Chains A and B, each alone.
Chain A
C-alpha cells in the first residue's frame, strides 16, 4: 500500500519541484534580459585593444564579460526605438545606424568624462592604426585636460607629446601646449553662455556679451571636430594658435602620415648606451630586446629616454619593465567592483638584462604607463630621473571595439605606482632637473645624464 502510494505520488512530487524551479528561473530571467544570446555578434572577446594615449589589457573571466542591464531600462529603450521605427513619419531603415550612434554618443557624453567617448568606425580605425605606430595628421598625441576655474568647466585640447619626426615636432609643438584655435577657428573649450552668466555682467553689457558668445559658438569647432581635423592626413597646412604657459603663439603644421619606430638606440662615447622608447605598442618589447642586444653587454651606463612618451598598452610596458627592473609588479591598478574600489598589482616576469647604472630622462610629455615605468626604474633599478616634472596622467583608458567597427573608450581605472603612489594630476618629480627642449642642437638633459653616468663610472674606476 505504502509503496503503491509513493509510486503514484513521486512523479507528481518531482513535477512540483520542477515547477518550483521553473518558476524561480522565470523570475530570475525577468530581472535581466537574455539578449546576449539574441545578439551573438555583440559578445566581447577581449579588450586587448589599444589607444595611443593609454590603455591596458583587461583580462576578463568569461562570466565577467558584461553584466546584464536592468530589463526595465532595456525595455524602455527598446520601446522608444520601436515607436520611432513604426510610427515616425520620416523613419527609414538606414536611420537605425545614426540613431544607434547618436544614442551611444549621448550616453557616453553624459558621463562628462573627456576620456570616455564614442568613436565612429573611421575614428576607431585611426586609434587602431596609432597602436601600430601609424599616425595621421600632425603626429602628436593629444588629450583633453579638464579644469574648473571660477565655476566654469574648461576642456582644453592639450598636446601630450609630439612624436619623433612628426610634423608637430618639426613645427615646434611642445608637451603641454594647449591648442586654442585651428585656422583662426576657436576650439570650444567651455560653455561661453555659462561663463557670461557667472561673470555677473548686467544690462546691455550682458546682452552684448551673450550675442558675442553666440557668435563664438557658431564660428567655433567642438572638440570632436578639432580632434578630427588634427588627425586627418588630408587636412593640408593648418595654422594653430597655441597657448604655452602665459604666451600665445601661432604655429604652421602640415598634416601627413607618420610611421613611428617605437625604440631607437645609439652608443655614445664612453660605452654609454642611449635608448629612446617612443611609445608602448605591440612592437616595443621585441624592438627593445633587439636594441639591448645591439648595445652589447659592455655598457658602462645606460640613458633611457622616456621624454614625450605618452604611454601605451600596459601589456607592452610590462614586458619592457621585465627587461629593465627586478620587481614583481609594474604598477598597482585601481578598478571598481560594484560600489567599492579594488587594487591589484600588474604583475611582471622580471628578468632584467641591464647591469649598468641607468639614468631616465622624463619631461612633461612622459605620461601614463611611461610615468609608472620611470618610478619603477627609479625605485627598483636604481635609476636617477633627469628632466622635468611628468604629465601626471594615471587614468586607465580602455578601448572597447563594437561589432560594427565602431568603438568607444572609457576610463576603467587608475594606475598607481608599484608602491601605491597616486601621481594622477601631480606628475613625478625628477631628482635632477634639466630643461628638456634642445637649444641650438644641445640636448642639455642628455648631456647632464651622460655626465652623471660617466662621473659615476670614474668614481667607481678610481
Chain B
C-alpha cells in the first residue's frame, strides 16, 4: 500500500506531461507531419512572446500598421470575391509599408530575392565587369571596371543600356538587368547601347568572365613639380594596402603634391574608408555615425599612419557615393585638402539586414553618416520624386566635366583633373609668405 502510493505520485506528473504533449501534437499525429510538429514545438516560446508583445502594444493604443493589416487581410480572406493568396498579399503589404518611408535603401526581399542578394555579396559570379545605375528610369553604365570584358569591349561610363540580348530593359530595375547580364563564364551577352554624341545605337557583344578589380591606380600628372594622382575605384579590403603601395611608388618619383581621385567611386566598406582617411588625417575625426536614438559615435583617424602632409586635392563627381563621401567630407572638415569637381551622390546611410522567419529578409537603414562637422550627407526625395534636400559634398571649387570627355582616362578633356593640377601647381610655385619676421 505504502509502496504503491509512492510509485503513483512519482508517475502521475509524468503521465500528465505526456497527456499534454499528446494533446499538443494530436493534430500532427493524425496527419503524420513530423516536420510541422517539430516546427510548432520549436516556435512555442517565440509565439508566446509575440502574442504577449502584441497584447502589450495593443494596450498602448491601436496597433497601427499591424492592426490595419490584420483587419484588411482577414476581411479579404473571408469576403473577397476571388480566393486570395495571403502570402503574396502580405509581401505586398510589407513592401507598401516600407515604401511609405521614402527611403529607397529600406526594402523587403522575398526568399528568392534574398538568396540572390546573398550570392551577389559572396562575389562568385561571372559578368562583364560594369556597374549599373538607374538614372531617371534609364539603365546607365556607372563605370566599367578597368581591364574587365566590358572595358575591353569599349563600354564607357554614361552609356545607356537600351537592350540586353535584343530585349528592351526600359522600366526594369537595375537588379533585374544585372541578372540578365550575368551568366556562365565564357558565354556571350549582347548589349544595345545608346551613347551621347552617337547617332546610332551600338550593338556590343561581350564575353562573360570572372571579375576582379585592381581598385587603385596611380599616375604622375606633372613630373617636374611632382604632382601625383591616386584613383580609388572602390573601398574594398585591398584598398588601403594598395594605396600605400601606389603612393610609395609616386614618392619614389619625387611626389610633392597629391590628387586623390574619388570620381565614380561608389563606396564600399566603412572601416576601409576610415583606414584611407587615416592616411591623410593624422589626428582627427573621420566620420560621425548617428544612430536611431540620436546617439552619435565618433570614428577617429588612426594615429601614426598618415602620409607626409602633401598639398592635397580630392576629385569628386556625382557618382562619388557613400565611403567616398565620408573620405572627402573628412578631408574637407579637417581642412586637410581642397575638394574639386561636382556635388557628390548623397548617400550616407548604413543598412542592416534582418533575416525573417520564412527566409525572406528586410534591409533597414539603421544609421547615418555625418561628416565631422555634423553635416548630413543624404539626399532626400519626396514621394513624388522631387528633391527636398540635395545632400552630398559640395566641392570647394566646382568644375563641371567637359561634354567631350569620353572615358575616365581621356585626360585631354578631363577639365576637372586639369583644374586640380593647375591648383596644385600654383600652390607649389607660389612664393612662400614668411609667417614669422
Contact = CB atoms under 8 A, between A and B. Distances in A.
Interface of A: 5, 8-9, 12, 15-17, 19-28, 30, 33-35, 38-39, 41-42, 44, 58, 64, 66-84, 86-91, 95-111, 116, 118, 191, 193-194, 196-197, 203-204, 206-207, 210, 213-214, 218, 335-336, 338-339, 395-396, 398, 400, 402-404, 406, 408, 410-414
Contact of B25 (A27, A107, A411): A27
A97 B64 contact: yes
A73 B51 contact: no
B162 interface: yes
Nearest to B50: A75
Contact of B81 (A84, A400, A413): A413
A20 B19 contact: yes
A105 B96 contact: yes
* Residue of A70, A78, A406 with most partner-chain B CB within 10 A: A78
B364 A83 contact: yes
Interface stretch (B112-120, B123-131, B223-231, B365-373): B365-373
Interface residues of B, number: 99
Contacts of A70: 86
B20 A19 contact: yes
By secondary structure, the A interface counts as helix
B92 A106 contact: yes
A210 B80 CA distance: 37
B81 A87 contact: no
Nearest to B5: A8
A41 B23 CA distance: 33
B8 A9 contact: yes
B169 to A, nearest CB: 9
A204 to B, nearest CB: 6
Contacts of A402: 68, 71-72
Contact of B65 (A21, A58, A68, A81): A81
A57 to B, nearest CB: 13
A74 B67 CA distance: 10
11 contacts: A12-B12, A80-B94, A80-B362, A84-B106, A86-B292, A87-B354, A90-B103, A107-B90, A107-B96, A204-B199, A400-B75
B403 interface: no
Most B CB contacts (10 A, CB to CB) among A69, A82, A116, A410 go to: A69
A107 B92 contact: yes
B73 interface: yes
B170 to A, nearest CB: 5
Interface stretch (B54-62, B178-186, B246-254): B54-62
B374 interface: no
Contact of A336 (B20, B81, B160, B201): B81
Interface in B74-98: 74-84, 86-90, 92-98
A17 B171 CA distance: 62
Contacts of A75: 47, 50, 357
B42 to A, nearest CB: 11
Nearest to A86: B292
Contact of B74 (A67, A76, A336, A404): A67
A189 B385 CA distance: 20
- Of B87, B89, B360, chain A has the most CB atoms within 10 Å of the CB of B89
B307 interface: no
A76 B110 CA distance: 11
Contacts of B18: 16
